[in-house]
Structure 1
């Protein structure tokens, strides 16, 4: 067997691991968001702090941008309002719990990093951690 065919199973294993890692992360985030929204409905008093935040994207292709926008909108308490591709890609996101816009933007950006790591090939030049702050890597 040539060395090229030996790397195909390894690349496939890396991709599967990344997809499963994102699926687990997103499932936990989805449950947490559902519980927060349910708690808001069931208890008196409001902890809502709605805001609309611009989130710059690293997503390069239309598929990546659409996947990020969809993942954000699937999470209860968040909604993608607008997608801008020029001059730089960005989402405008409404959050029910966005009292701290910087922390909210960081959470959406973390979701994007994890999703791109799952979507992009292992050898992608803008790999999952390219340009990512060291503190944000897990």
Structure 2
């Protein structure tokens, strides 16, 4: 209960800070949007904890929980797929999710699955993050930036 009294105000602050970041970026010519999808190995294990973390991530502007991947081998962590709009530095995304997870459930602090924010790691492994292909991004940019649209 004491943890919730600290976590909820922190989360509300993060929601406001992230919202202001998105608004600020949206009015700039170069938004800085560089969407990335990360595969985050969860340290939380109960259904309630996973649902709470996923909900907090989705409630924070610029991030979205996409789904879960069950462990491939016994003892492996469940993977949470997360999309982040500001994904030019995926290490920062991993660290911020790890911070949120640890603030939500402090007992996970000692668990380390080898990603940034969960231990001394400052690099991601191959396959931990994916960006949209350049072709898809270029097509989307051309569609959005047309001067004249026909409806």
TM value normalised by structure 2: 0.66
* Aligned counterparts of 1:28 and 1:105: Cα–Cα separation in 2: 19
Counterpart of 1:99 in structure 2 is 88
Mapping for residues 111-126 of structure 1, pairs under 5 Å: 111-117=100-106
Mapping for residues 82-97 of structure 1, pairs under 5 Å: 82-87=67-72, 88-97=77-86
Counterpart of 1:30 in structure 2 is 15
- The answer (yes or no) to whether the contact 1:55–1:91 under 8 Å persists in 2 is yes
Relative to 1, partners in 2 of residues 1:134 and 1:82: Cα closer, same or farther, differing over 3 Å? closer
Runs (4 or more) in structure 1 with deviation over 3 Å come to 128-135
Mapping for residues 19-58 of structure 1, pairs under 5 Å: 19-58=4-43
**In the alignment, structure 1 residue 129 sits paired with structure 2 residue 103:** no
Unaligned runs of 5+ in 2: 113-117, 121-151
**C-alpha RMSD over aligned residues:** 1.9
Deviation at 1:134, TM superposition (A): 8.1
Deviates more, 1:81-90 or 1:48-57: 81-90
What is the SS of the residue equivalent to 2:67? Answer: strand
Deviation at 1:36, TM superposition (A): 0.8
State the number of aligned residues.
Answer: 111
